[in-house]
Structure 1
Amino acid sequence: MKTPADLLKQYLSSIRNPSAAAALFAEDGVLELPYLASLGIPPQAQGPAAIENFIASLLKKVPDFQFKNVRILIETGEQAFAEYDVEAPVVPTNRIYRQSYAGRLVTAGGKIVLLRESLDTVAAAKAFNIPISV
């Protein structure tokens, strides 16, 4: 069975293949980016189909989206925590999306049950030209 770090690395490396990335999640698994709510974007997707749709919609705007510089910082029997980066052009705005993520992954039965990611919402808003309300 894959370790939490293995599953996280597999997810991150397969992000440009939405169905492969989503297949790593349990049926009730959740991809959660809670800070996206401040940008008016739904903060979570639950289940492989919703996760696949979320990733596919991101790739329409950022076709070259790919994680790099993955740093696994903590791993336990069922969890991993890592930091990883993205730098890619956003098609609709023609701006570069530069982002560092922090992700906490929780597993059960060899599947991802939760991946909660934090990000710099100001950097995202600038790259995607989303107004920020204070």
Structure 2
Amino acid sequence: MKNASQLLTAYLDNIQDPAVAAALFADDGVLELPSLSSLGINARAVGPAAIAAFIGGLLKNVPEFRFHNVQLLIETADQAFGEYSVEAKVLSTGKLYKQTYAGRLVAKDGKIQLLREALDTYAASQAFTPD
């Protein structure tokens, strides 16, 4: 059974495969980016199917989306917190999406219950908004 830091690492490593990444979540597991609500974006998915669809939608517009420079800062059996970066081209705008995420993961019974991520909304807005 994977602990929180192992689950976070597995999620980050498998972001290019939405089905694999989503399978790490519990049936009622949640992926959310609440800071995007300030941009009018509902970035909350519940359950593996919705999470896979969410990640898949992102990859359609940012196919080279991959996490790097992963730093796990807090690691316990049931929680992990880390920072990780992305640098990839957004197809719809042709702009570079350069971002550092901060993510808190809560695990239960070897599955992700919650992954809440924060990001720089200004950088996201600049990359995803056409000129």
Alignment match, 1:32: 32
Q: How does 1:34-73 map to 2 (within 5 A)?
A: 34-73=34-73
1:130 Cα deviation (Å)?
6.9
Contact 1:39 1:130 in 2 (8 A): no
Which residue of structure 2 lines up, in the alignment, with residue 92 of structure 1?
92
Q: CA deviation at 1:24?
A: 0.2
Aligned residues: 131
> Could you say what the CA RMSD is over the residues aligned between the two structures, in angstroms?
1.2
Structure 1 length-normalised TM: 0.95
Report the equivalent of 2:115.
115
Q: Is the 8 A contact 1:83 1:102 kept in 2?
A: yes
Kept in 2, the 8 Å contact 1:30–1:114? The answer is yes
TM-score scaled by length of structure 2: 0.97
Structure 1 runs of 4+ off > 4 angstroms?
Answer: none
- Secondary structure of 1:2's aligned partner: coil
Write the distance in 2 (CA, Å) between the matches of 1:63 and 1:37. Answer: 23
Gaps of 5+ in 1: none
Identical-pair percentage: 60
> Corresponding residue for 1:129?
129
| Distance in structure 2 (CA, Å) of the matches to 1:112 and 1:59 | 21
